[in-house]
Amino acid sequence: MIRFDHITKKYPGTTRPALNSIDVEILRGEFVFLVGASGSGKSSCLRLVLKEEKPTSGSIHVLGQDLRSISNRKVPYFRRNMGVVFQDFRLLPNKTVFDNVAFSLQVIGKSRGFIQEAVPDTLKMVGLAEKSQRLPHELSGGEQQRVAIARAIVNKPQILLADEPTGNLDPTTSAEIMSLLASINASGTTVIMATHEAGIVDQMQRRVIELVHGEIVRDERQGGYATASIPTIGPAPTTDTPASEPVPVAYARPAAAPEPSLTHPSAPVPETSVSLHQAAAAAVAAASAATPAPIAAAPVAARATDDPAVDDPAIDAPAVEGVLTTPVPPMTRPVLPAAQNDDPEQLTLAEKLGLRAPGEKPDQTGEQNVGPTR
C-alpha cells in the first residue's frame, strides 16, 4: 500500500534533515499512528504520501505507483484515491454542510444524481443528517470536524490521512471522532494519523510509528504512546534478594511530670502536713488568753476511736505501693474553750476556719491575715 525506501527530506535553510533515510511499509487496511515531538517529521511523511512534497532522496510507492513517475498533471487524479482531514477543518464558510461535502465530488466531475445519493449517506454515517443545511459557524468544533471527515470519505478513498484531527477538540469529542475513524478503518480504508494525544493512542492500541529527529526509533504493533523522547517512570526493578525488613525503632516515652493533686478528705495526709497543722493549732491556743484550760491536741499516732463523730475513710483504705503504707490520721480540729461568743451562729468566718481565736479583735490595719496569726 505505502512504502518508503531510504527517504530523506531536507528543507532549504536547515542543516538537519526533516527525514533521515527512513524505511517503512504500511499494509492495506491498517490503522497507523505517527507519534513524536513537534518537528520530528510526522507532517513531512503525510505530505510526501500526498505528493505535496518531493523527497530529497529515496523512493516512495503508494497504491502500487512510484511517485517519482507521476507527473504534476496526473497528481489530481492520483489524489482522488486519498482523503485528507486537517486540524483546522478547512471548510468553506459560505456553504452549507451539504455543499461542503458535495464540493469534493463536484471538482472530480461526479454526476448530480451521484452527489444527491452519496452526500446524505455520508452525513448519516458521521451523525449530521439533520444538520445538512447548517453553515459551518452554526456548528460546534466537533461537528465541523465531522463535516471535514465526511468530505474526505464521501468518495470512498483507499487511504485516509489525518493530521492532528483532534488537536482542537475536547476529550469527549475527540473520543467520538476516533470512534468514527475506527469505523471507517473497519470498512477497509487505510488510516494514517499524526497525533500528540497519548490517551487516544493508548486506548486504541494500534500500530505506532515513533519519529525522533527525522528517524524512526520505534515501530510497534498494538503499541502505546510512551515515546523515547519522553522518559516514563516505571516500577522499581525487583531482585531475588529480599529486601531487609525494617528494624522497629523503640521510642522512649518521656516521663510525665507529676500532676498536682487536690486535697480530698479520703486521701491520706502526709506527716509534714500534720505537723504544720499542729503548729498552727498551737499558735491559735497560745494566742487565746481568755481561758486557762489547755488546748488538747489530737494524737497523731493513733486514731481516736472513741469519738463517733470522727470518721475518716482514708484510714481503712488499702495501702498503695510507692506511697505511705502506714495510714496517717487527718488533723483533728483543736477543742477550743467555751467563750461568750461560742455560739456557731455568732462566729465569724475566720473563727470558723480557725484563723482567729473566738473573741479576738480583728486586725485594725485592715489587712487580711491568712494562715497562723502573728
pLDDT digits (tens, 9 = 90+) for 76-102: 999 999 999 988 889 999 999 999 999
Residue 46 has pLDDT above 80, yes or no: yes
Kindly state the helix (H) or strand (E) to which residue 163 belongs, with its residue range: strand 159-163
Residue 273 has pLDDT above 50, yes or no: no
207/331 same-domain check: no
The answer to whether the pTM exceeds 0.85 is no
What integer pLDDT is reported at residue 291 of this predicted model?
Answer: 47
> 31: exposed, middle or buried (C-beta count within 10 Å: 0-12, 13-18, 19+)?
buried
Domains in the chain, number: 2
Q: Which of 180, 205, 220 is the last residue of a domain?
A: 220
Report the percent of the chain where pLDDT is more than 70. Answer: 60
277/185 same-domain check: no
Pair 17, 56: CB distance under 8 Å? yes
7/70 same-domain check: yes
Residue 99 in domain: yes
Residue 356 in domain: yes
92/188 same-domain check: yes
337/189 same-domain check: no
pLDDT tens digits along 49-59: 999 999 999 99
Cell numbers that stand for 27 in this block: 499494509
Q: Once rounded to an integer, what is the mean pLDDT over residues 157-179?
A: 91
Residue 7 has pLDDT above 80, yes or no: yes
DSSP three-state, residue 82: strand
Q: Once rounded to an integer, what is the mean pLDDT over residues 308-318?
A: 46
Residue 372 in domain: no
> 196: exposed, middle or buried (C-beta count within 10 Å: 0-12, 13-18, 19+)?
middle
What integer pLDDT is reported at residue 252 of this predicted model?
Answer: 46
Q: What are phi and psi of 234, to 5 degrees?
A: -105, 180
Residue 365 in domain: no
Cα–Cα distance between 236 and 101 in angstroms, integer?
53
Q: Which of 192, 220, 248 is the last residue of a domain?
A: 220
C-alpha angle 97/101/103, rounded to 5°?
Answer: 115
174/275 same-domain check: no
283/190 same-domain check: no
Residue 195 in domain: yes
Q: Which of 202, 220, 238 is the last residue of a domain?
A: 220
Residue 141 in domain: yes
Residue 253 in domain: no
200/127 same-domain check: yes
What integer pLDDT is reported at residue 226 of this predicted model?
Answer: 76
What integer pLDDT is reported at residue 222 of this predicted model?
Answer: 86
209/279 same-domain check: no
Residue 32 in domain: yes
Comparing 303 with 95, the larger pLDDT belongs to 95
* CATH at 191: 3.40.50.300
Q: By residue range, what is the domain housing residue 344?
A: 269-288+326-360
Comparing 95 with 258, the larger pLDDT belongs to 95
281/178 same-domain check: no
pLDDT band at 119 (very low <50, low <70, confident <90, very high): very high
283/349 same-domain check: yes
190/279 same-domain check: no
